[in-house]
Structure formats: C-alpha cells, structure tokens
Amino acid sequence: MYVVTGSAGGIGGSIRERIEAEGHDVIGVDVLDAEVHADLATVDGRRAAIDEIGRIAGHALDGLVVAAGIGGSTGAPSSLVARVNYFGAVTLLDGLRPLLERGDRPAAVAIASNSASAVPFDDPTLVDLLLDDNEEGAAAVTAGMDGEIVYAQSKLALARAVRRRVQEWGDAGVRLNAVAPGPVLTPLTQQALDHPVTGPLIREYPIPLGRWGEKEEIAESVWFLLRTATWVHGGVLYVDGGTDALLNPDRL
C-alpha cells in the first residue's frame, strides 16, 4: 500500500498512475478527487490526513510520496506556499513513518524542486525557520516576500529536511530521498507561465537537453527511488534536463 499526496493531478497524479501500473494500491491525498480529502495548509488538516490514512491502510505502508505543493505564481498568499510545501510535506513524512516501518522494503520520496538551487537569495531566515519547525514564524516572515522566492526556499528547506533525517530514518529501516524536478508542463507550471513576470523567465530557463520534462519522467524517477534504488538514502535526485549541473557545475 502506497500514499501519494497531491494525487489529483499534475506530477502527483502521474506518480499515482506509475505505482498503480505495478499493481499496487494507492491512497491519494488531495483537496478533492482523492481517497483522503485534506487541507495540508493547516495543522488540523494534516493531523486528520494522517489519521484517515492510518484507518484505510491498517498497520503498514510500503511507500509514501509527498508531492502536494503550491506554486509561487498562483496568487496564493506566500504564507500558504510555505505551509503546504514544507509543513504539509514534513508533517506527513514524520507522522506516517511508524506505518512505513512495518512495510515491505519501505521508502518515502519528497518532491522538491531544482529552483531550490537556481533561485539566488541572501537572507536565509525563512529556510532556518522552516527547518526549526517554527510555522508561525515562517508564515510571518513570508509577508511581503515574492511568492517564487518563498516557493524556492520552501523546496530548499524540504530537501535539507530529507537529508537531516538520514540517520533517524536509517535506524528505523526506512529509506528517504527527494526528487528535484525542473520545468514540467503541469497546471502549476501553466499558472507560472501565465504570470507576466515569471512567464518570460521560465521560457528562458536554460535546459541543456533543450526541452521541458514530462510528468511521466518525474514519476519514473520516483518509482526508481521507491523500489529499485535500494541503497540510495538521503539523496536529492535532480530530474531537470541538466539545469542544476549547468548553473552549479562545481557543487557536489
């Protein structure tokens, strides 16, 4: 049994289809069109999602993918971007780990973003507050911040949170990794393309392979980390056509 958040469409929907293609059952989590309806922007919504997943799954889960997210160009408050992208992910990761510990070759994958390394910033306050689990402080700091910056920093914090859990999760026998996609044409990306500022920037985004990714390519990478790459733990896999390597060639 697997869980996928953000399963109603976009990358999350493709991940769900990929897992189901292997014959596995999936519990989808989304605000609509899912087995578990949940608002991951709120503490109560996350708690309710964890409880309902436990009720449906029973005693164990084999895998978890936290793919739910909000883009920075959607017009949503920047605080909402931080709440969903970071706290909506790490709370479910930590809350569902006990079920994963009883699963078959259990693994979890968080969907980060290559914007975490592509969007420069000088002030790390938001990232630090997210990693310190200070949700209200993080929400306050986002006031007046550009949504795309909040998006990038929330995804950076998520990738770091994955790596910081490597020993604890390893001791529990559960692998945890992240995938950092580049531009993929999804409803989330389309909203950014329609934005007068971010749209032109995305269209000029350098991609060495010369094309955008497909949702199915991200889903394939997630499946690789869930079931095939059994000695990969604490990794961040960039699935972005080479953009991160182009922009950060000397960073390992």
Backbone angles phi, psi at 199, to 5 degrees: -55, -55
Overall average pLDDT of the 91-98 stretch: 98
Which of 7-16, 144-153, 189-198 is predicted least confidently? Answer: 189-198
- Strand order through the sheet with 236-239: 36-37, 26-30, 2-5, 63-66, 107-111, 175-181, 236-239
Which of 37-41, 140-144, 189-193 is predicted least confidently? Answer: 189-193
pTM (2 d.p.): 0.94
Overall average pLDDT of the 156-163 stretch: 98
16 or 118, higher pLDDT: 16
Confidence check: pLDDT of 217 > 70:
yes
- Out of 2, 86, 151, 238, the active site residue is 151
The residue ranges of every structural domain in the chain are 2-182+214-240
Q: What mean pLDDT, rounded, does the chain reach?
A: 94
pLDDT at 127: 97
Overall average pLDDT of the 221-241 stretch: 98
User: In this structure, which amino acid lies at residue 37?
Assistant: H
pLDDT tens-digit map of 50-66 = 999 999 999 999 999 99
pLDDT tens-digit map of 70-87 = 988 778 899 999 999 999
Is 2 among the residues known to form the active site? no
CATH topology for 2-182+214-240 is: Rossmann fold (3.40.50)
Confidence check: pLDDT of 103 > 80:
yes
CA distances for 65 relative to 107, 134, 246, angstroms: 9, 23, 28
With bands split at pLDDT 50, 70 and 90, how would you rate the model's confidence at 209? Answer: very high
pLDDT at 197: 66
pLDDT at 144: 86
pLDDT tens-digit map of 175-199 = 999 999 999 987 777 777 777 766 7
